[in-house]
Every structure is written in C-alpha cells, then in structure tokens.
Amino acid sequence: MIKKLAFIGILFLPILGFSQTEKKDLGKLQWWEDDKFGLFLHWGLYSATAGDWKGHKTSRGEQFMMVERIPVKEYATIADTFNPVRFDADKWVLMAKKAGMKYIVVTSKHHDGFAMYNSPSSDYNIVKKTPFKRDPMTELSNACHKYGIKFGFYYSLG
C-alpha cells in the first residue's frame, strides 16, 4: 500500500511544477493586491430581461441564453428594445469612487456574443442593433480616466 501511494505521489509530482505561477507574473497583479476594492459589472442584453424569459424565472443571469437553450436569433430580439437611457457613466464612476473603489471592470462582450461597444467586426452590438445607439464602453472609459479610476474590460471569446 505504501509503495502504491509513493508511486502515485511521484507520478503526480511533475504536475505541481506546472501549476505554479511564475514569480515574474505576480508583479503584474501587484496593483490589484494594493487596490483591493473595485467593481466588476456584468451588463448586457441579459440585463434587460431581469431574470425572466417568457414568464418564467431563468437561472444563471448573464448566461441564461445558453442555460435555457435559447436560439441566438430569438435571444437577439432583446436588442430591439434594449435602451438603457438612464445610463450615466459619470454617475457610475463617481458612485464607485465615493464608495472607495479603485477600479472598474465591465463585460464588453459576454458569452452571448453581444458587444456593448461599437464593434468594427460585427453589427451585433449596442450601437448598431439597439435604439440606444451609444457606446457605453467608451463613455465608461472616458469617465474612469477623468476621475482617476482604473478601467478594464472582460471580453468573452464565446
């Protein structure tokens, strides 16, 4: 039994070396360690449904299109009425700053494939497919720069 455990341990030992983060890469995260407190926003077409699809509660919020197996063509109709007219980048950023947050990260494109910016590679985006016709990612970026908040994008290839 001891020989088997030793063999298994030796067999998996090389994996430990590959799973470690190299020290040179840790420095890239130092700002995050120092800043500690920030805002990560999931915002997209899925927000418009408020967790409800055709009268029933959906699960997994921002991933409900896949979880509920909604065809892309049908899901994309949400864009026809997605119009966040009360969006105000300055207010969002100032609220985060007032709360003591040091950075904001926002979903520029989530797994549903809808871009929350004016994408040159696809018309499936907030500027070209919604009545909103504005680029909130540019507005947020500008507001973060203006008020001294770090800003980043979450971008899904899915």
Q: Look at residue 5 and tell me if it is in a domain.
A: no
Q: Which residues contact 56 (CB under 8 A, 6 or more apart)?
A: none
Q: Look at residue 17 and tell me if it is in a domain.
A: no
**Which pLDDT score is estimated for 25?**
72
**Intra-chain end-to-end CA distance of the chain, in Å:** 46
Q: Look at residue 4 and tell me if it is in a domain.
A: no
**Which pLDDT score is estimated for 129?**
98
Q: Look at residue 97 and tell me if it is in a domain.
A: yes
What is the chain's pLDDT, residue by residue, as a tens digit (158 residues)? 777 656 665 665 566 556 555 666 777 888 888 899 999 999 999 899 888 888 888 877 778 888 888 899 999 999 999 999 999 999 999 999 999 999 999 999 998 999 999 999 999 999 999 999 999 999 999 999 999 999 999 998 87
Number of domains the chain contains: 1
Q: Look at residue 15 and tell me if it is in a domain.
A: no
Domain that holds residue 85: 23-155
Can you tell me the distance from the alpha carbon of 150 to that of 105, in angstroms, rounded to the nearest whole number? 8
- CATH classification at residue 131: 3.20.20.80
Q: Look at residue 13 and tell me if it is in a domain.
A: no
Q: Look at residue 2 and tell me if it is in a domain.
A: no
**Which pLDDT score is estimated for 118?**
98
pTM of the model: 0.80
